[in-house]
Amino acid sequence: MIARLSELLEIDRFDEPSNGLQVPGTTRIEKVASGVTPGLTLIERAIESGADLLLTHHGLFWRGAPPRLSFAQARRLRAAFAADLNLACYHLPLDAHPDLGNNALLCRRLGFQPSGRFAAHGGATIGVIGSSEVPVAIESLCDRIADLLDREPLLQGAGPPLVSRIGFVSGAAHSSLLEAIELNLDAFLTGEPGESMMHAAEEAAIHAIAAGHYATETLGVRALGDWCATEFGIEHEFIALPNPV
């Protein structure tokens, strides 16, 4: 299963060695749970659900982290080991995937069609440019975002009343706004805002939308869990732990 996931998400294209199986457990998988960040609560909820494998977007271990376990990491590992739970994470590959990725899913579910890529991170482009033949009023776009992600987006900048081309880079990617400006997009959507985003968006006459780091990264991991359920004939449960950030 892990080999198939690695192939599907093309993890070798990314300069990010933390993708894949981070904590090995049982070798027999009958149920997969998925979630965004592998905190202790998510791990415990996955164990309570009877999952054998927990798929997450963020990892328990990251490049550049100190080469020692924190108390929080140790508690998470003890819980996973005690339950023989596997933990696998897929970060940038799951942002970038053309079908199951956060950005492609945001694009399509908000009524746009993928028409290009931008925003290089980790050795590959992860952002998606979406286009619509029928321009969308910015107010309607914000309503769609709120309905899809169950939270009100933060709208900044001074873009055109109608949006035909928009860039999507989920998570904490406000720095990619500058590339969206260079591409002359009408709008840019990410998760977390940066302090400078408002000024840059106003001066460049583009809409800058922050729809939540957590919220913009729920779609991909849920879709990946559903893929596993279909591909391997097993059960999947997405575990929501909403985060206001």
CA of 120: how far to CAs of 102, 126, 133, in Å?
A: 15, 6, 26
pLDDT, tens only, 217-228: 999 999 999 999
Assign 68 a pLDDT band (cuts: 50, 70, 90): confident
Between CA 129 and CA 125 the distance in angstroms is 11
pLDDT, tens only, 185-216: 999 999 999 999 999 999 999 999 999 999 99
Who contacts 38 (Cβ-Cβ below 8 Å, separation ≥6)? Answer: 54, 56, 58, 59, 60, 76, 87, 89
- pLDDT surpasses 80 at 8: yes
Q: Count of alpha carbons within 13 Å of 105, Cβ hemisphere only?
A: 21
Specify the pairing of strand 207-210 against strand 187-190: parallel
- pLDDT surpasses 80 at 41: yes
Whether 117 and 101 have beta carbons less than 8 Å apart is answered as: no
Write out the DSSP string of 46-62. HHHTT-SEEEESS-SS-
CATH code 3.20.20.30 for 95-216: no
Please state the domain extents for the chain: 2-90+218-237, 95-216
Indicate the range of 9-13, 15-19, 186-190 predicted with least confidence.
Answer: 15-19
Between CA 102 and CA 91 the distance in angstroms is 10
Average pLDDT over residues 137-145: 98
The architecture that CATH gives domain 2-90+218-237 is: 3-Layer(aba) Sandwich (3.40)
